[in-house]
Structure formats: C-alpha cells, structure tokens
Amino acid sequence: MGARVIGSGVGRAAWRAIVACCVLEVISFSAAMAAVDKRADRAAFVQRVGCEIDRRIRIVAARPPGKNRFVIAGVPAKGHAYAQCLMVEEGSSILCEVASGFYLKQKGDPSTVEVPARVRALLAAEGFDTDPSEGNFQRHWTPTNLSAEIEATGRSLAGLLYDLYGARTPDDVEYEVPGAPELARAALCVAPVARLAWPHAAC
C-alpha cells in the first residue's frame, strides 16, 4: 500500500486557507497599528505646535493696544499656507484667519475660490467660516475665558496646519511676531513626549 502524501488534495487547500487567513490578519493588524501611529503623531504635533502658538499669542496679548498684536504661523515649504490671530478691540476679542488662497488670485480669475468638502468640514469643525469670496477663512469671537481660549486656539490652529497644509514636525512651522524676529524659530515649549523626535528611527 502506498504511503499517503501529507499536504496533498484537501490538505493543501486547507493549508492555503490557513495561510491566507494569517496574511489577512497580519495586514489588518499592520493597518490598525499604522492608523494608531498617525493619530499619535498628529496628537504630538498638535500638543507641541499648539503650545508654541499659545505662547506667542500670550506674548502679543500682553502688549498695549496697537497694530503689533498678531501672530502668524506658516508652513514655508507649502507656499501660501498659514494661520494667524489678531488681538483686537483692546484684547476683548480675537480674530483668527486661515489662508484661503483668495489673495493669490490674479486679475480675471474666478471671483470665488473652490473649497473642497473635506476642507469645509475641517474649518467648520474649528469654528471658521467657509466662504473665501472676500478673503481668508475667519473666526472672530469674544472670549469669556481668555487664557483657556488662547490655549484652545493654539491647538485648533496647529490641527489645521497639520490637516490642511501637511505640516508634520515642529520644524515645518515658522512664526512671525511683530518686533520679535527671534521668535520665528524659537522653541518656547518643551517636547512633551519622546516620540516628538521626528523623523522616526528606521527599524
């Protein structure tokens, strides 16, 4: 009687099914871990850059009323990509803007800037208007708790720099504070967690 060959016929099919299942599980696990890493990277960016924006807004908010009470946070590598905040009416209200591309229009261009649905959703979630027909996207409000709302504004703008303009590390962002050129690249906040050492080390 001939010996039965292990793995022949139904056996091979079963092994293929098991291997395929394992491969799918590995792919699913890898995708899940990648999603976790992306969320963690964004959270770390927002924490650090949000703090940097927060500190600079506090600096200009402490100044006497005048024209030099604004902060710009830009992403130079992306061109016309920035967010800015101005303390107005002697500090009783804040006007923040996110670049819409309106000021890049040339004579003869359409009167309105096309705004993708994804961008509208991101802006609306942070309280900004989504109409670029007359300028940048704006949010203008009177805070009831200035300190807490400056902190929240820093995080909000940092998130938009990440989501809209592709900023990924603190070094991607440059700041403008009137009368304080040393703050353009200064690190005013201590990195909160070790994973802020971008880029990730290779495996």
Whether 8 is in a domain gets the answer no
User: 163 φ, ψ to 5°?
Assistant: -80, -35
The pLDDT value given to residue 190: 76
Whether 11 is in a domain gets the answer no
Domain that holds residue 125: 46-189
Whether 55 is in a domain gets the answer yes
Long-range CB contacts (< 8 A, 24+ apart) of 63-66?
63/87, 65/90, 65/91
The pLDDT value given to residue 120: 95
Whether 31 is in a domain gets the answer no
Whether 102 is in a domain gets the answer yes
Side-chain-side CA neighbours of 83 within 13 Å: the count stands at 28
Whether 181 is in a domain gets the answer yes
Whether 20 is in a domain gets the answer no
User: 123 φ, ψ to 5°?
Assistant: -65, -45
Whether 22 is in a domain gets the answer no
> What is the number of domains present in the chain?
1
For residue 195, the cross-strand partners are: none
The pLDDT value given to residue 195: 42
10-residue stretch averages of pLDDT, the chain, 203 residues long:
53 64 52 54 97 97 90 95 90 90 73 82 97 92 95 98 96 97 94 44 37
User: 141 φ, ψ to 5°?
Assistant: -150, 165
